[in-house]
């Protein structure tokens, strides 16, 4: 523990406190728009070991930043204390002064940082400002875990597109649905309530959720968060819908005023299967009246669409099917993480085969973990660089 008054020190204490800052920072994932959800602790050690005197996370919408809130909580006690931040404090002027400046003014003695901010307005300048003011700065603490917590933001900044998680629910025989069911009849239940619960939590942490129009026509999904107490955490819902087939009677359209819906409807030719290209404008008007945003981007050009979504501030995208959409993301090399839930039912000959199956996922994906959810098994694969 710390020797100097007010300072928490020691690599072990630093790692433990950074783990806590990362946990705090995760609290607003999916809520901070284009801002990362950063965690900040203010810690004092007055001889009896480190004591957390303030803890904050980036506010919903992205401002105020974590540091300003933590400093406000700590007040005068911040003088001589250590700040643990998951991301380098900013050095640019937003609605308020830079966080680096606020830390200096509050008399913080030491700043421990996990990840250096790739934002070109910051990237090292925050650290330099702190050091110039005589503050002791340490970076890269628990960096792998910090990077993971900020992966969506970091992917958007580094690659100019959202971080993409593709989730598929597979039957025991590797099918993701059945052709045997009539349109609108819903789908066979492949996975159970434990998996459903986990996917709901994934939605909470995502900025956007995306499906193909085939899935919408077949299942009429709502794609909202329905966990008690978290109903207001639904991500933006995006449908790849080249011919604008989304029905104004669909659950998506009917709930669009409450949770945003974007229909990606590039103008496709009749050769692409548009049954009524001339009625398109009327369909667009009907959807717009319900609050659906009709976005004119060719849904087949993910290489253009994803950067467009990123520039709207969407950092994390959860792709939830179906087969065609999954295949197009995989083929475009736009999947960062693959979640394969395998349930116990079998579907058989009428099944729609999944483009990937557990144990048969090709490079560049690597199996990183597996976990049971009731009767189902989740296998996680990550793209290797
Ligand atoms: C921090 N602490 O809690 C967050 C930071 O739109 P603005 O002005 O809020 O700027 C967004 C940038 O601020 C973002 O790209 C990142 O560099 C930084 N986010 N910085 O010091 C925080 N959320
Ligand atoms: Zn800041």
Tens-binned pLDDT, residue by residue, of the chain (385 aa): 444 445 555 899 999 999 999 999 999 999 998 899 999 999 999 888 999 999 999 999 999 999 999 999 999 999 999 999 999 999 999 778 899 999 999 999 999 999 999 999 999 999 999 999 999 999 999 999 999 999 999 999 999 999 999 999 999 999 988 887 655 555 678 999 999 999 999 999 999 999 999 999 988 999 999 999 999 999 999 999 998 999 999 999 999 999 999 999 986 666 666 567 678 889 999 999 999 999 988 998 999 999 999 999 999 999 998 899 999 999 999 999 999 999 999 999 889 999 999 888 989 999 999 999 999 999 999 999 8
Question: What is residue 194's predicted lDDT score, i.e. its pLDDT?
Answer: 96
CA of 65 to the centre of ligand 1 (A): 6
Q: Which ligand is nearest to the CA of 88?
A: 1
Question: What is residue 5's predicted lDDT score, i.e. its pLDDT?
Answer: 46
> According to the annotation, is 322 in a ligand binding site?
yes
- Whose alpha carbon is nearest atom 20 of ligand 1? 90
Strand segments, DSSP code E, in the chain are: 39-44, 51-57, 82-87, 110-115, 136-138, 163-170, 175-178, 208-212, 236-240, 261-264, 292-295, 316-319, 337-342, 351-353, 365-373, 376-383
Task: Give the pTM.
Answer: 0.92
Q: Would you say the CB of residue 66 lies under 6 angstroms from ligand 1?
A: yes
Question: What is residue 80's predicted lDDT score, i.e. its pLDDT?
Answer: 97
> According to the annotation, is 323 in a ligand binding site?
yes
In three-state secondary structure terms, 319 is strand
Distance CA 49, CA 83 (A): 15
Q: Would you say the CB of residue 101 lies under 6 angstroms from ligand 1?
A: no
199-212 burial string, b = 16+ CB within 10 Å, else e? bbebbbbbbbbbbb
Question: What is residue 274's predicted lDDT score, i.e. its pLDDT?
Answer: 59
> According to the annotation, is 246 in a ligand binding site?
no
Question: What is residue 94's predicted lDDT score, i.e. its pLDDT?
Answer: 79
- Catalytic annotation present for 222: no
Continuous H helices in the chain: 11-25, 66-74, 99-105, 125-132, 143-149, 151-159, 193-205, 213-219, 251-254, 280-289, 302-311, 323-331
CA of 94 to the centre of ligand 2 (A): 8
- Whose alpha carbon is nearest atom 2 of ligand 1? 65
Distance CA 268, CA 303 (A): 17
């Amino acid at each position: 523990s710390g020797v100097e008054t007010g300072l928490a020190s020691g690599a072990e204490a630093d790692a433990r406190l950074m783990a806590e800052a990362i946990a705090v920072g995760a609290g607003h994932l999916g809520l901070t728009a284009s801002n990362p959800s950063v965690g900040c602790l203010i810690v004092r050690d007055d001889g009896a070991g480190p004591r957390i005197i303030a803890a904050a996370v980036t506010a919903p919408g992205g401002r105020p930043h974590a540091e300003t809130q933590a400093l406000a909580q700590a007040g005068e006690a911040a003088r001589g204390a250590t700040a643990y931040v998951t991301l380098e404090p900013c050095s640019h002027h937003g609605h308020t002064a830079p966080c680096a400046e606020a830390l200096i003014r509050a008399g913080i003695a030491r700043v421990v940082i996990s990840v250096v901010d790739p934002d070109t307005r910051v990237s090292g300048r925050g650290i330099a400002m702190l050091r110039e003011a005589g503050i002791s700065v340490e970076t890269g603490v628990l960096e792998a875990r910090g990077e993971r917590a900020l992966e969506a933001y970091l992917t958007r900044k580094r690659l100019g597109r959202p971080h993409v998680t593709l989730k598929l629910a597979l039957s025991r025989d590797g099918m993701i649905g059945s052709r045997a069911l009539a349109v609108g009849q819903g789908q066979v239940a492949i996975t159970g309530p434990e998996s459903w619960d986990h996917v709901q939590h994934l939605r909470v942490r995502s900025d956007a959720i995306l499906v193909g129009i085939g899935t919408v026509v077949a299942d009429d999904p709502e794609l909202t968060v329905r966990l008690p107490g978290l109903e207001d955490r639904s991500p933006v819902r995006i449908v790849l819908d080249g011919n604008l087939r989304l029905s104004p009677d669909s659950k998506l359209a009917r709930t669009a005023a409450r949770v945003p819906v974007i229909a990606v409807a590039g103008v496709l030719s009749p050769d692409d299967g548009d049954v009524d290209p001339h009625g398109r404008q009327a369909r667009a008007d009907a959807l717009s009246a319900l609050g659906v945003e009709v976005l004119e981007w060719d849904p087949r050009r993910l290489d253009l669409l994803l950067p467009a979504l990123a520039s709207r501030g969407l950092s994390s995208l959860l792709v939830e099917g179906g087969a065609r959409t999954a295949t197009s993301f995989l083929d475009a090399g736009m999947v960062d993480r693959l979640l394969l839930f395998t349930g116990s039912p079998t579907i058989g000959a009428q099944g729609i085969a999944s483009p990937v199956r557990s144990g048969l996922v090709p490079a560049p994906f690597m199996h990183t973990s597996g976990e049971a959810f009731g009767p189902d098994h989740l296998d996680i694969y990550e793209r290797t660089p």
